Structure 1
């Protein structure tokens, strides 16, 4: 794989700073995670805030200014320099924006952190691992760009906000969470968050969380020996009776009956049809299901 990572690190500025660098001969990626600064984007200096992702091609002008803002001088970012045929091909797959705002979740940050750790290992450095981490990060940029937008009130901005709420629910559905927490994360009032989510997706936050919980419960019933009561608790249902009621409404059979049935593709497909699933349940692909079935 022709991918070369030349630098990857976290940079923190607590004093005024202006770079005097030439245009980088490599691809330069930069993610703001703390404070703010100004950077050269599309022919002008632009305010950069947490969640702002900058992508520069080799030869693009790069200027960075860190200045005092409301009495505080602080700017933290992850950056990397890379090149290679794979990166060239990835860049040319679609039009690339120099600036986009992305959801600053643990996934993109932790992946960048891991890439930095591997790049700085003095012993046992794994070139192949670094290459794959870098490729994964680029592909996450693609996913993030589908939901990025900078204009409040625009359809793209609305989709980005709703996408952020969906991700929050996906990450917390198996735990106890409140609608208020989702709204706070999105920077909206509870009423606005509830209305916007239902308007865009056609179902409520609670319904979406229940879908995630039920699909996880179905998977655990089939592929673990946990008790049904434990599965109910681990999937975020308050009581087993409530879980039993929702499960039977969804799939037309009780959790106990599913546990008693042998695992086979026909039975699984019937359950999916009853649940009206359009995608693999809980991220389990058809190949994985075939593997699980083959062990019985």
Structure 2
């Protein structure tokens, strides 16, 4: 029985954490530190670096720090470019640290490199809550139960990593984050240097990764989104052309008109007229 107990994977720490003020966490690169850290973002946003690679973290993102790796967590207020205000901090996560032969071997063979998307997260959070309860339960020996829960959590992460495929690798994950951000903020003033800095990469890296993943430069993608928005408003609103251009994110009507004609082979006014809508 003693040897079986020694083989159990028991959490060093496991819990639920909420931050409403700035917070930093750090685990240095150390060849003698064999702890494995799992962190599941449940609410809010933060920024995490693993071995020098920085990830913007959103709800549903899971971070894996493997044995000996450097890890840094930064939770800080986020500037809302649309409203021009700093958003209050409200970050919630589930965390788990373990060591031991089983979980070290699991982490080393895991396909997750730094971060993986977990969707949906309810099942994983349910397992985490059960593990927290068992860790706090002081009545009886529940080591075997905790060992089983840790392993089910890890194997569930493997399933999510398999679904994500190569998207869990840093160089493939960042373009998808940039894409979601561009889609959300397409009608706002955007500069690639600020977008790249937000995701912890250079402008050239952001452009290279985005184009390699989606086949076009990031700002070209923004223009395409804006043109799609404008074309819908040309057909389904009575706004004048200048207002449509501005509301879609174009700061110059002549540029909007040229871009629209290049895409649709007609001017905005002709596009509207061909669909039976009078031009203001």
* TM-score normalised by L of structure 2: 0.50
Q: Which residue of the partner structure matches residue 34 of structure 1? A: 43
Paired residue secondary structure (2:134): helix
RMSD: 2.1
CA distance in 2: counterparts of 1:31 and 1:94, whole angstroms: 16
Q: Which residue of the partner structure matches residue 208 of structure 2? A: none
Note the C-alpha offset of 1:87.
1.4
Q: Deviations over 1:108-136 (max 9, x none)?
A: 11001111111111223400000000011
Q: Which residue of the partner structure matches residue 64 of structure 2? A: 55
Unaligned runs of 5+ in 1: 154-296
Q: Which residue of the partner structure matches residue 150 of structure 2? A: 134
Q: Which residue of the partner structure matches residue 82 of structure 1? A: 98
CA distance in 2: counterparts of 1:94 and 1:5, whole angstroms: 19
Note the C-alpha offset of 1:20.
4.8
The range that moved more, 65-74 or 29-38, is: 65-74
Note the C-alpha offset of 1:31.
0.6
Name which of 10, 13, 17 aligns with 1:11: 17
Structure showing greater relative contact order (alpha-carbon pairs closer than 8 Å, 6 or more residues apart): 2
Q: Deviations over 1:246-286 (max 9, x none)?
A: xxxxxxxxxxxxxxxxxxxxxxxxxxxxxxxxxxxxxxxxx
Note the C-alpha offset of 1:57.
1.4
CA distance in 2: counterparts of 1:19 and 1:152, whole angstroms: 26
Equivalenced residues, count: 153
CA distance in 1: counterparts of 2:121 and 2:71, whole angstroms: 26
Q: Which residue of the partner structure matches residue 107 of structure 2? A: 91
Note the C-alpha offset of 1:45.
2.9
CA distance in 1: counterparts of 2:110 and 2:67, whole angstroms: 17
Note the C-alpha offset of 1:105.
2.9
Q: Deviations over 1:161-199 (max 9, x none)?
A: xxxxxxxxxxxxxxxxxxxxxxxxxxxxxxxxxxxxxxx
Which structure 2 residues correspond to residues 1-296 of structure 1 after superposition, within 5 A? 2=7, 3-23=9-29, 25-69=34-78, 70=80, 71-148=87-164, 149=167, 150=173, 151-152=175-176
Note the C-alpha offset of 1:90.
2.1
